[in-house]
Amino acid sequence: MLLHEPLWEKEPLITLGQSIKLVVEVVGTNWENDYARKVEEYALLGIPEYWIGDYLGLGGVFLLVNRNSPHLRFAN
C-alpha cells in the first residue's frame, strides 16, 4: 500500500519514491526500456531497489540494482 503517495487513490501516479522500497518487473518485449530508462527513473525517484526478471535472458537473467551499492549483480 502506498500511504504517502497523494495521487495514488485517483490515478496510478507515483510522486514520492521514498514510499516504495522495491520494484520488481518481468521484462517484456521492450526490454531495452526496462534495463536502461527505468533503472535511471527509479533511481531518480529514490527507490532503493529495482529487480528485473528476464525469463528469456534478453538482457541478462536477473538484475539487482541497489542505490547504496555502486555495482550491479547478475545471476543465472
Tens digits of residue pLDDT in 4-40: 777 677 776 777 677 788 888 888 777 778 778 888 8
Hey, which residues does 24 pair with through a beta bridge?
51
> What is the band of 3 on the pLDDT scale with cuts at 50, 70, 90?
low
Assigned domain for 27 exists: yes
> What is the band of 75 on the pLDDT scale with cuts at 50, 70, 90?
low
d(CA 66, CA 38): 14
Assigned domain for 57 exists: yes
Dmax (CA) of the chain:
39
Alpha carbons within 13 angstroms on the beta-carbon side of residue 71 total 2
Determine the residue type at 58.
L
Query: For the chain, what is the domain count?
Result: 1
Statement: residue 68 has pLDDT above 80: no
Assigned domain for 23 exists: yes
Assigned domain for 53 exists: yes
For 31, the domain range is 17-74
Measured in degrees and rounded to the nearest 5, phi and psi for residue 34 equal: -65, -40
> What is the band of 73 on the pLDDT scale with cuts at 50, 70, 90?
low
Assigned domain for 32 exists: yes
